[in-house]
A and B are shown apart, each in its own frame.
Chain A
């Protein structure tokens, strides 16, 4: 696993150097391109921040009221049968509905269990390997003026499920 983490840590620096060299070879004004892109990124974060505040308040309320603990206990019966970490179940369900709400739940997991715990890793990987089903389907099909979605939803559901199960399995191998 040390090897996997080493390569993971190498990837970002390698990509940065590769991209910048590629730009210089193409005689691009790389620094200006970088700052333009960084400005875009700042706008993205500024746009996301209000959503993040709203949702982190909601998750924080759920946590401090004791409801999340109650939900986890309720689910633990079902989860322990399949040897599946219970905390991931609400996360996976919420992720299908809203990416930012799922982020709120993941951060709550980070606070409770730590980022590098089994559950913290499983949550990180699961959110990295899934997309929001309902948002994507509604926006994209609206653009195409389609309302019979045929086999899109079952396919999306199966792919998401496979991603979540794989995430838990991989996180299990890492700890």
Chain B
């Protein structure tokens, strides 16, 4: 995806510049773009390291596990098909807790493991069902739990957008962290929309949403 996007951006930029007689500006653009990226990288190096350092303490002191455990009402509401304390359930908790705290590196591996587990234990009730194990059909359909899990992930759960704060401080913001509460509010809107949508779809697809 990025290959095509990048090629299109460069090609459009260069051709547009040549047609408008701005070859010199485009050359300057290449140089200043590279320079800005490195300057930004240095700012980020400090801010990101400070944050990931603090979050490592949170991880190792059991704070993140503690948060996962407190999530069970939410988990039961969002994932009625997934039984508590199964591997899939635990991975999903870790993923969601890590996402909330902005720990991308911890969230993605747990999320991938959760998807593997879901595909093994939670065979879809929807289209494409052929009764066998995970390997018995090629075009497997996502289960309700998988759809919900992904939509929640995409709706963004992160509370403190550290990287955005780093960018803002590099570009001279008076209040780099001033966007935290507004960002939490916007994240809440997107996540609540996601929750609502998932609940409606679960109801419409029926059976699979019955609580065990």
Q: Enumerate chain A interface residues (CB-CB to B < 8 A).
A: 4-5, 7-9, 11-12, 15-16, 19-20, 22-23, 25-26, 28, 30, 33-42, 44-45, 48-49, 52-67, 70, 94, 97-98, 100-101, 103, 106-107, 110-111, 114-116, 120-121, 124-141, 143-152, 154-156, 158-160, 162-163, 165-167, 170-171, 174
Contacts and interface: CB of A to CB of B under 8 A. Distances in A.
B210 interface: no
Contact of A146 (B48, B142, B168): B142
Q: Describe B's contact surface by its main secondary structure.
A: helix
The 5 closest A-B pairs by CB, nearest first: A37-B56, A60-B33, A41-B52, A163-B190, A65-B17
A34 B32 CA distance: 34
Interface string B174-202: 11111111110111011101100110010
A28 to B, nearest CB: 5
B171 A58 contact: no
A170 B37 contact: no
Nearest to B36: A56
Given A67-B12, A163-B155, A19 B51 contact: no
Interface in B12-51: 12-14, 16-17, 20, 22, 25-26, 28-30, 32-34, 36-38, 40-41, 44-45, 48-51
Given A22-B58, A59-B9, A163 B25 contact: no
Contacts of A174: 178, 182
Contact of A152 (B14, B40, B142): B142
Contact of A129 (B139, B172, B187): B187
Contact of A19 (B12, B63, B108): B63
Interface string B152-185: 0111101011011001100111111111111101
A155 B177 contact: no
A134 B1 contact: yes
A68 B56 CA distance: 40
B50 to A, nearest CB: 7
Given A41-B49, A44-B48, A124-B179, A57 B14 contact: no
A97 to B, nearest CB: 6
The interface centre, meaning the residue of B40, B142, B160 with most chain A CB atoms within 10 A of its CB, is: B142
Contacts of A152: 142, 146-147, 150-151
Contacts of A16: 54
5 contacts: A28-B61, A45-B45, A63-B13, A65-B20, A103-B167
B115 interface: yes
Contacts of A127: 161, 164
Q: Describe A's contact surface by its main secondary structure.
A: helix
Interface stretch (B68-76, B79-87, B126-134): B126-134
B13 to A, nearest CB: 3
Contacts of A39: 49
Given A11-B160, A20-B54, A155 B13 contact: no
Given A115-B171, A144-B118, A58 B10 contact: yes
B128 A148 contact: yes
A58 B115 CA distance: 34
A45 B41 contact: yes
Contacts of B26: 61, 64-65
B62 interface: yes
B77 to A, nearest CB: 16
Contacts of B151: 152, 155-156, 159
The interface centre, meaning the residue of A8, A40, A97 with most chain B CB atoms within 10 A of its CB, is: A8
B142 A148 contact: yes
